[in-house]
Structure 1
Amino acid sequence: MRTFKMKELDRLVDSLAKNRYYVSDTLINNELVRALKDEALSRFEVGEFDQARVGRQLTKRLDQHIRRDKISWISSDTNEQTNALKEYFSFLNQLKDYLNPLFYLGIRNYEGHFAFYDTGAFYKKHVDQHRGRGLRRLSVILYLNDMNDGDGGEVVLYDFNHHENVLDTIRPKEGRLLIFISEDLPHEVLTAHMPRLSLTGWMRA
């Protein structure tokens, strides 16, 4: 697995096992991050972002009391993907092949979208795994711009045993990758005080 350094893979596995999440500033190379950021901005400029909804399938609804981000879904068809997305999907596939046998995750594919939080946007506390579904195994967030202290937009992770206790607060940083077990960690996105851009998705069974 030439994409990864074994020491970091060991840290990732250890952290997922103990804490249910892992944060890395080095798993994704800077050139790929910039290319994905450029794609997100290009989509935004041509109006390919829509207001995000809550729920799933036929029950999806717009509820700005819960979330106010805008999203642009990514096609899983490689014929419709840019080179940057193909490279990112290749990275996720390698990650899947490494983690599946260790955690018995049964991951088969990935779904994701670019997410844009304008000033004032947020996403209230929630769990990524829809009740009764069990398909989302790992949540993966790649940050595409820097947010300084006071800029907001942090992801707050809550303890998997005591959902009111804060486990960690992750500040967006360009190239930072946050991976966590989807069904275990309630989390929220704090109100952004400047535009926030990310690539958010789920590795699914």
Structure 2
Amino acid sequence: MPTPTKDSLMNENDTPERYAPLVDALVARGWYQWPRALSTSLCQALLAEAEQHEADGHLEPAGVGRGVIHQVNATIRRDEIKWFDGRTAAQKAYLDQMAELQTYLNRSLFLGLFEYECHFARYQPGGFYKKHLDSFRGRASRMVSVVCYLNPEWQADWGGELVIYGENAEDSGDIRAVITPEMGKLVVFMSESMPHEVLPTQHPRTSIAGWFRCNTSVTGKIDPPK
């Protein structure tokens, strides 16, 4: 089988205007789910990469916190990750789509997004990520979170749903959405205001977790990604 190129993994009919419903939803409620946002061929190529990283032992236990407070805590989250380096055709195709989305968000909402970072996330049976925020208002630079699912033919009894809550992080009863991790689905939400969690999965679950960042600094230096 020939090696896929970046162009072969893109959707020919994609136009920037397809992001308009996403932006409207972010303004109205802070989150949006988009089934079949990515082509099957791109998802399959990305899934194959994630599985190869796992087979090669390149995945690392995910941690919580950033910088000096970063730590691995299996009581909070149980997944393994591999950061994108942008070297493969599949990663380049995915990152190109995220760059297009970044441009559209900046033009529509004037968010000042300047960078995107992402990693593969692989959950084994029993894996989960308890309720959390991706960013704390005024204390970090992640503004918009993006999750892309790579799981083919996901079954309802496998669990692993993404639960999005209302802005009051203490109110666990304020559930805004329960999202099934189906291949090609993109979920976008505001990092500072939408608490969320990954429910325990009964089947290997693979996604791409990413964040659009604004330009912040710490002690006079730009806050680095990761």
TM-score by length of 2: 0.83
Q: Secondary structure at the match of 2:82?
A: strand
RMSD: 1.7
Find the aligned partners of 2:82 and 2:136 in 1 and give their Cα distance.
20
* Structure 1 unmatched ranges of 5 or more: none
1:93-146 deviation line (CA, Å, top 9, x unaligned): 111111112212111111111001101110000000146433111111110104
1:123 is matched with: 129
Q: 2: distance between equivalents of 1:36 and 1:17? A: 30
Highest Rg: 1 or 2? 2
Choose which of 186, 189, 192 in structure 1 pairs with 2:195. Answer: 186
Which residue of structure 2 aligns with residue 4 of structure 1? 15
- Paired residues, what number? 200
- 2:177 corresponds to which of 158, 161, 168: 168
Query: SS of the counterpart of 1:101?
Result: helix
Residues 4, 23 of structure 1: CA spacing in aligned structure 2 closer, same or farther, 3 A cutoff?
A: farther
1:101-112 to structure 2, matched below 5 A, reads 101-112=107-118
Aligned amino acid, residue 131 of structure 2: K
Report sequence identity in percent.
38
Aligned counterpart, 1:95: 101
- Kindly indicate whether residue 166 of structure 2 is the aligned counterpart of residue 159 of structure 1: yes
- By how many angstroms is 1:180 displaced? 0.7
| Other-structure match for 1:31 | 41
Q: Tell me if the contact between 1:49 and 1:70 (Cα under 8 Å) persists in the aligned partners.
A: yes
**Aligned AA (1:160):** E
**Secondary structure of the equivalent of 2:49?**
helix
Counterpart Cα distance in 2 of 1:157 and 1:135: 20
Q: Which amino acid aligns with 1:60?
A: H
Task: Give the direction of change, closer, same or farther, for the CA distance of 1:66–1:187 in structure 2 (3 Å limit).
Answer: same
Q: Normalising by structure 1, report the TM-score.
A: 0.91
